[in-house]
Amino acid sequence: MVRLKSRYLIVEMIWSSTNQDCACPSGVSKGVVMQAVKDSVLRNFGDVGMARLQNRMQIKYFNPLANIFIIRSNRAWHSMLWNAIFFIRHIKDHDVCCMVHRSVAMPRSCHKEALPIIQAKHKATRALTKIKVEEKEFDAEAQQHEEALLAMDF
């Protein structure tokens, strides 16, 4: 029996032209980011690259507070996806630079690698935010995103 082998890329989005310090600009969602990734694959690798990646490529986790997303791809072609993510420069008319933190093989190791990055980003966001938000509300929302990561269905 053949097992489908996947790789999970932990990607951080760094926004350059936004008035907000750390959070995603309004209108940027999981679907918008996925469309930007697909456009980048199509632009850089053509129909062949899109066909190789499309069957297993899926955003498994998206956190707009920490600007982190986790995307799954086929193990044989994950480096192609990594390169396509590197070349993303605009998402919905906002300048962005995408940086892949890690490529991991197992969902458990994905949780293990992503959780400290997300917690550090939440602390930085709380320190830099200019929006008047109660600390308890912000912590509750950050906790909700961390629980979503742990409950992620792979």
**pLDDT value, residue 67:** 86
Query: What torsion do the CA atoms of 146, 31, 93, 148 make, to the nearest 10 degrees?
Result: 0
Residues of the chain under the 70 pLDDT cut: 1-2, 17-22, 125-139, 141, 150-154
Task: Record the tokens describing residue 127, joined without a space.
Answer: 């320190």
> N- to C-terminal Cα distance for the chain?
20
pTM of structure? 0.79
Task: Record the tokens describing residue 27, joined without a space.
Answer: 């209108």
**Bridge partners of 69?**
11, 62
Tell me how far apart the alpha carbons of residues 50 and 37 are, in angstroms, rounded to a whole number.
10
Query: What torsion do the CA atoms of 12, 17, 21, 26 make, to the nearest 10 degrees?
Result: -80
Go through 57-74 and write b for each residue having 16 or more CB atoms within 10 A of its CB, e for each that does not: beebbbbbbbbbbbbbbb
Which CATH architecture fits 6-151? 2-Layer Sandwich (3.30)
